[in-house]
């Protein structure tokens, strides 16, 4: 079986911006240009986009966290704004539901962690909810977080980089290569067993037969 990469940028990918904390080591504008992603703002993410001089393709949400000035700013540039007043889902989930209905299956999420712990937990829960239908990469202030379903995966790494693996909630028959402490046919069913491993190669291979796995690749900050 051929290994997969979590996000294949040769396939359509949406970069979704939230109103949380942003990593200062991640250049969104360069990423948008290099990978030709669809740039989507989840409600207050439009404020972040304006601050960073970014031009989104879509703004989706109930518009309770974005100013009239910012809405007018992007409307003047003919940015599509989709008002979703429903309060049963938060703005990230509103974006994902709309994008999934329109054929998008790969999502890079930025700005959905850091400001409130409950929102951070909700982000991970939402990723898990839609994991059967989509692939996710979440950028936080300190890490890249992948959510993987069963299969064989290759993760880019830097030798010496801290890599943590967590069953979400559990993973069976996990085998890894390229880590200081490799696993072979192990189960991750909770606790700290997969915490703080270390990459020893530029590629980490991960294979498991069932469940969902969170891979947290810590970004070393200067």
Q: Could you tell me if 60 and 102 are in contact, meaning their C-beta atoms sit under 8 angstroms apart?
A: no
Task: Give the CATH H-level superfamily of domain 7-141.
Answer: Thiamin pyrophosphokinase, catalytic domain (3.40.50.10240)
Architecture (CATH level 2) of domain 143-222: 3-Layer(aba) Sandwich (3.40)
Q: What is the pLDDT of residues 50-76, one digit of tens each?
A: 999 999 999 999 999 999 999 999 999
What Cα–Cα distance (Å) separates residue 59 from each residue in 62, 82, 117?
A: 10, 6, 24
Q: Give yes or no on whether 7-141 and 143-222 have one common fold.
A: yes
Q: How is the chain split into domains, by residue range? A: 7-141, 143-222
Through-space distance between the first and last CA atoms of the chain, rounded to whole angstroms: 38
Q: What is the pLDDT of residues 88-109, one digit of tens each?
A: 889 999 999 999 999 999 999 9
How large is the average pLDDT for residues 113-120? Answer: 91
Give the pLDDT score at 106: 96
∠ Cα 173 174 177 (to 5°) = 140
């Amino acid at each position: 079986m051929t290994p997969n990469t979590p996000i294949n940028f040769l396939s359509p990918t949406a970069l979704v911006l939230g109103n949380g904390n942003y990593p200062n080591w991640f250049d969104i504008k360069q990423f948008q240009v290099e990978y030709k992603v669809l740039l989507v703002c989840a409600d207050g993410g439009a404020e972040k986009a304006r601050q960073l001089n970014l031009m989104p393709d879509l703004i989706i949400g109930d518009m309770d966290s974005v100013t009239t000035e910012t809405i007018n700013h992007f409307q003047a540039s003919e940015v599509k704004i989709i008002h979703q007043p429903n309060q049963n889902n938060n703005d990230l989930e509103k974006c994902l539901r709309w994008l999934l209905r329109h054929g998008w299956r790969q999502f890079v999420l930025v700005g959905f962690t850091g400001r409130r712990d409950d929102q951070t937990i909700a982000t991970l829960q939402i990723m898990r909810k839609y994991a059967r239908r989509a692939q996710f990469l979440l950028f936080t202030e300190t890490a890249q977080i992948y959510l993987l379903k069963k299969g064989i995966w290759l993760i880019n790494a830097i030798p010496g980089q801290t890599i943590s693996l967590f069953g979400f909630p559990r993973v069976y028959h996990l085998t890894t290569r390229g880590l200081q402490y490799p696993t072979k046919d192990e189960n991750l069913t909770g606790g700290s067993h997969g915490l703080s491993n270390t990459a020893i190669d530029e590629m980490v291979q991960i294979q498991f037969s069932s469940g969902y796995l969170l891979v947290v690749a810590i970004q070393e900050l200067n």
